[in-house]
Amino acid sequence: MILDMFKLTGKIAAVTGANTGLGQGMAVAMAEAGAKVALVGRSAMDETMRMIDAAGGESFPIKADLSDPSVTAGVIDAAVAHFGGLDILVNNAGIIRREDSINFTEKDWDDVMNTNIKSVFFLCQAAAKVFIKQGRGGKIINIASLLSFQGGIRVPSYTSSKHAVLGLTRLLACEWAKYNINVNGIAPGYMVTNNTEALRNDTERYNAILDRIPAGRWGTPRDMAGAAVFLASPASDYMHGFTIAMDGGWLAR
């Protein structure tokens, strides 16, 4: 049956930035589809764990600050040690710093780049080593952004990092497809998350953005669930190096 291709029963996933927002939504979706989920984040993931418990799933928290790329191998090792393997990695953790480019600091540049692209690469590398050793392939889902395709304003390091995520996703897909590893991405549109709180608090900008979204609303973490499960499942086995825009039609306008 076709719906069986979307099941994640028996799979093990690791989701970064799983304590809230989009990461939380995707982690819960993976659990609902049958996966055991390692939750990675800087802060407590009690709420996400309760949501997964309520869905009848199983999770395990791994506390890690991914602004330090040296922790990435340990994150993957911890997930494998607890669950006995790994099949899916979702690189969702990310930060943003807003300032005019003329005044942007080196620290704000480095903090964002370390979290949003350097740690992403080394998490992908660590997961791929596990996938290759296991010999059963694997799925990597990198969370990009509308600003993987556009410039934006006042977020120079964020835009640069998300352009890099798009390129890295394509490169790794080309290198690792031969190992039965699928590397794809999701580019969320304007979502109701912590990262967009400043925008949503600015009434003028909020309404200007809303007016340009054909769907007529900002997205929610639940809007990421279907794409995440699809890319983690056998249904996407022949997709390599593509980034899906979940944006309410923003890029089409």
Q: Which residues are catalytic?
A: 158
> Using only C-alpha atoms, what is the Rg of the chain?
17
**d(Cα 215, Cα 221) in Å, to the nearest integer?**
15
Q: CA dist 149 to 43, 171, 187, Å?
A: 30, 17, 9
Q: Cβ(40)–Cβ(75) under 8 Å?
A: yes
With a CB cutoff of 8 Å and minimum separation 6, the contacts of 109 are: 156, 157
Token reading at 159: 């835009």
What is the amino acid identity at position 89?
A: L
Where are the strands (E) in 25-92, listed by range?
36-41, 58-63, 88-91
Torsion of CA 16, 174, 85, 61, to 10 degrees: 0
**d(Cα 17, Cα 85) in Å, to the nearest integer?**
20
Phi, psi of 80 (to 5 degrees): -65, -40
**d(Cα 140, Cα 173) in Å, to the nearest integer?**
9
